[in-house]
A and B are shown apart, each in its own frame.
Chain A
Amino acid sequence: MSVISEMFHNLLSKPVTLLYPIEKVPVPGAFRGRITIDDDKCIGCSKCSLICPAHVITMVENEREVEFKDKKLKRKKKPRVKLFKCIRCGLCERHCPTTPAAIYLKSELSDSGTDPEAVVT
């Protein structure tokens, strides 16, 4: 009996589906989205590359002056991430020594893809 009453109640109310491209999906602040590197903050310590479980971060040559803990220093390398192979576990963000982390997962909804060569630097 409860099935039938629920059926007719549903018939007269709005469906529960979110019509995705037209309506926006609410994304919480802690969502682990696309990997992003903040160029101003990275000091090139390579901790992210060592800790990554999927081995998708490589360090490439890149020189720049950055400020870290009120000291100016010159970094030699910065990370390059294979975008679509990242498993978004967040270990790199957890172990990055800068505050806020120079490598982090953006909390916007992002696409997926399969290009193995796509990188984020």
Chain B
Amino acid sequence: MIDSLLILVYIFLFPGFLFLITYALILEFLDRRIAARMQHRVGPPFYQPLADFVKMLGKEVIDPDGVDLPVFDAAPLIALAAVMTAYLYIPIFGSSPLAFQGDLVLVLYLFTLPTLALFLLGWLSRNIFSALGGIRAVTQMFIYEVPFFLALLAPALMAGTWSISEIMVWQQKNMWFVFLQPIGFVIALIGLQAKLERTPFDIPEAETEIVAGPWTELTGRRLAVMHLTSDVLLVAGSALIAAIFLGGPTISVPVTPIWLSWFVGFFLFLAKTLFVVLILSSIKVATGRIRIDQLNTIGWKYIATASLLQVAMVIVINYLWVSS
């Protein structure tokens, strides 16, 4: 009885959906503020993302002529639901209570749903710019998904388990994967930047070329939900990378009273996700957008081969370790 009540508190309040949405808005503010300061500007105040969200909810919803309205309404909600669910399986202040063998695969699958929702929205709005943007979004997904999955497969191979929480525990006993597999860390960051559609990979949303791509016909509450999906994906993606490469909410020294380990773990979680967001913001500020065919060349030539190399290295190390 208490168990199911605690699970409900975990899912809906802390560190579930309420904390998730708050943290998503705070991380968006930090991302925009850091990017602005790097560009020598002031940047928005701390309540800006919340104000944007509330304002967009109240704006008029414009239905384009002849589109399929139930799907148009449902697609942003499905995307938001997918990333919020994926977040629940990632360790926040200790192992996730919902963890099971294979939840890494589930989380990665759920992360692909927002891109598919964007493609669907782009295809359904009867608008040439949205269709082009949707096609670019799916092409980009094909290019970065393979290296991203391989880069996250390598730690799973080395730790010998398919559960994110157990990978985190393995790192607590041995070493963080960022030191053992630096190539994988870099590729995972690149993959995350491409999944979030930020510069240099904001090709589907290229403002100066195709107006706003698949986001063109979204207005009002649909836009608010889709924008919140982006923010939540930022939290969930950086939490995933922090858990798999940076040891998540643990340090090498085990902390004994369980409540103290949760306390310390929570602050470690905040620090590590902030670190990942700092790196992503720096990449966003320092580069311009590349073209989709140039991404094709770079992705298959360099990034995919690097990730294959990383997986091959892990297999060799595992074999040597087992045989010793």
Direct A–B contact in the complex, CB atoms closer than 8 angstroms: yes
Q: Could you tell me which A residues sit within 8 Å of B by CB distance?
A: 3-4, 7-8, 10-11, 13, 15-17, 19
Select from chain B the residue with minimum beta-carbon distance to A18: B42
Contacts of B40 in A (CB 8 A): 10, 13, 15-17
With A4-B286, A8-B38, A17-B40 already in contact, 10 other A-B pairs whose C-beta atoms are closer than 8 Å: A3-B286, A7-B38, A7-B285, A7-B286, A10-B38, A11-B37, A11-B38, A13-B40, A15-B36, A17-B41
What chain A residues lie within 8 Å of B37 (beta carbons)?
10-11, 15
A18: min CB distance to chain B, Å: 10
The reply to whether B42 and A19 contact each other, CB–CB distance below 8 Å, is: yes
Label chain A's interface by main secondary structure: helix
Q: Which residue of A lies closest to B282 (CB)?
A: A7
- Tell me the bound Cα distance from A3 to B286 in angstroms: 7
Report yes or no: B42 in contact with A15, Cβ–Cβ below 8 A.
Answer: yes
Which 5 A-B pairs give the minimum distances between C-beta atoms?
A: A7-B38, A10-B40, A16-B40, A15-B42, A17-B42
Place the interface of chain B in its size category.
Answer: 10 to 19
Q: How far is the CB of A91 from chain B (nearest CB, A)?
A: 39
Contact of B34 with A by CB under 8 A:
yes
Measured between alpha carbons, how far is A3 from B285 in the docked complex, in Å?
A: 9
Nearest Cβ in chain A — how far from B42, in angstroms?
Answer: 5
**CA–CA, A98 and B286, complex, Å:** 58
| Interface CB pairs A-B, < 8 A, 19 | A3-B286, A4-B282, A4-B286, A7-B38, A7-B39, A8-B38, A10-B38, A10-B39, A11-B34, A11-B37, A13-B40, A15-B36, A15-B37, A15-B42, A16-B41, A17-B40, A17-B41, A17-B42, A19-B42
A19 to B45, CA, bound (A): 13
Closest chain B residue to A3 by CB distance?
B286
Residues of B within 8 A of A15 (CB): 36-37, 40-43
Among A7, A8, A13, chain B packs the most CB atoms within 10 A around the CB of A7
Residues of A within 8 A of B286 (CB): 3-4, 7
Residues of B within 8 A of A11 (CB): 34, 37-38
List, in ascending order, chain B residues with CB within 8 A of A7's CB: 38-39, 282, 285-286
Most buried by B among A4, A8, A10, A19: A10
B288 to chain A, nearest CB (A): 10
Query: Whole-angstrom distance from the CB of A37 to the nearest CB of chain B?
Result: 40
A-side contacts of B43, CB under 8 Å: 15
Q: How far is the CA of A95 from the CA of B145 in the complex (A)?
A: 72
Docked complex Cα distance between A13 and B37 (Å): 8
Which residues of B, 202-254, contact A by the 8 Å Cβ criterion? none
